[in-house]
Structure 1
Amino acid sequence: MTESIFIGLGANLPSDAGSPVATLEKAVADIAAAGIDIRRRSPWYESAPVPAAPDQPWYVNGVIEVATERSPAALLVLLQQLEAASGRIRSVANAARPLDLDIIAYGERVAQHMMGDVAGDVVGNSGPLLPHPRMQDRAFVLLPLQAIAPHWRHPVSGRSVAELIAALPAGQEIRLL
Structure 2
Amino acid sequence: MIIVAIGANLPASGYETPLSTCEAAVVRLAEDADIQVTGRSRWYESEPVPKSDQPWFVNGAVSVETDLLPEVLLARLHVIEESFGRVRRVRNEARPLDLDLIDYDGQVRIGAVDPTLPHPRAGERAFVLLPIRDLDPDWRHPVTGEAVSTLIAGLPDGGGEIRALED
Quick one: which of 139, 145, 150 aligns to 2:126? 139
Distance across 2 between alignment mates of 1:50 and 1:93: 11
**Please, which runs of 5 or more residues in structure 2 have no aligned partner?**
none
The AA in structure 2 aligned to 1:73 is: E
Q: Secondary structure at the match of 1:78?
A: helix
Query: Percent sequence identity over matched residues?
Result: 51
Q: Which amino acid letter does the alignment assign opposite residue 5 of structure 1?
A: I
Which amino acid in the other structure matches residue 176 of structure 1? A
Is 1:148 aligned to residue 135 of structure 2? yes
Residue 40 of structure 1 aligns with which residue? 39
Which residue number corresponds to residue 10 of structure 2? Answer: 13
User: Post-superposition, which runs of at least 4 consecutive aligned residues in structure 1 deviate over 2 A?
Assistant: none
Count residues in correspondence: 162
SS of structure 2 residue aligned to 1:136: coil
- CA–CA distance in 2 between the matches of 1:48 and 1:29? 25
Native 8 Å contact 1:104 1:131 kept in 2: yes
**What's the counterpart of residue 117 of structure 1?**
none
| Equivalent in the alignment of 1:129 | 116
Quick check: 1:11–1:23 contact (8 Å CA) kept in 2?
Answer: yes
Matched with 1:175 is 163
Alignment of 1:93-108 (within 5 A): 93-108=91-106
Structure 1 residue runs of 5 or longer lacking an equivalent are 115-125
Q: Supply the RMSD in Å over aligned alpha carbons.
A: 0.9
- Deviation readout 1:58-112 (Å, 9 max, x if unpaired): 0000010000010100000000001111111101110000000000100120111
1:22 to partner: Cα distance? 1.0
CA contact (8 A) 1:6 1:104 kept: yes
